[in-house]
Amino acid sequence: MSKWPDYAITAVRYDGNTIERVRVYEGDGAQLTDRQTRSRTALLLSLFVQRDYCTAYQDGNGEWRKGADVETVDVAGTTYIRTDGNDIASDDLGELPDF
């Protein structure tokens, strides 16, 4: 397993095609700790100050596995949060579970 980034997003709540909140764990390099819930605004601010995020999922043994890197894209003057880098006017963190 490669080193965990600063944070891993494990679940998401959308309001239409915009993220409302995310469930994140802090990455300490070797493992994930300290689960938190963050608003879209808090997530964007953290991304703007160069914190690294990825998505994460649990495998069949209950172990966390790294998913895709999370980044921002600007479309028509609005910033969106995505894992695929596409210039599409919506947030998209892939197939994370809703909470």
The amino acid at residue 50 is Q
Q: What is the pLDDT of residue 7?
A: 98
Q: Nearest Cα to 78, choosing from 3, 2, 19?
A: 19
Over the stretch 6-57, which tens digit does the pLDDT of each residue have?
999 999 999 999 999 999 999 988 899 999 999 999 999 999 999 999 999 9
* pLDDT of 28: 87
**Closest Cα partner for 87 from 72, 97, 99, 98?**
72
* Residue at 32 is within a domain: yes
Return the bridge partners of 58, or none.
64
62-99 pLDDT, tens digit each: 999 999 999 999 999 999 999 999 999 999 999 999 99
Domain contains 27: yes
| Domain, as residue range, for 35 | 7-82
For the cut 60, the answer to whether the pLDDT of residue 1 exceeds it is no
Residue 65 resides in a domain: yes
Q: How many structural domains comprise the chain?
A: 1
Residue 68 lies in a domain: yes
Residue 14 included in any domain: yes
Instruction: Judge whether 66 lies within some domain.
Output: yes
Q: Is 43 among the domain residues?
A: yes
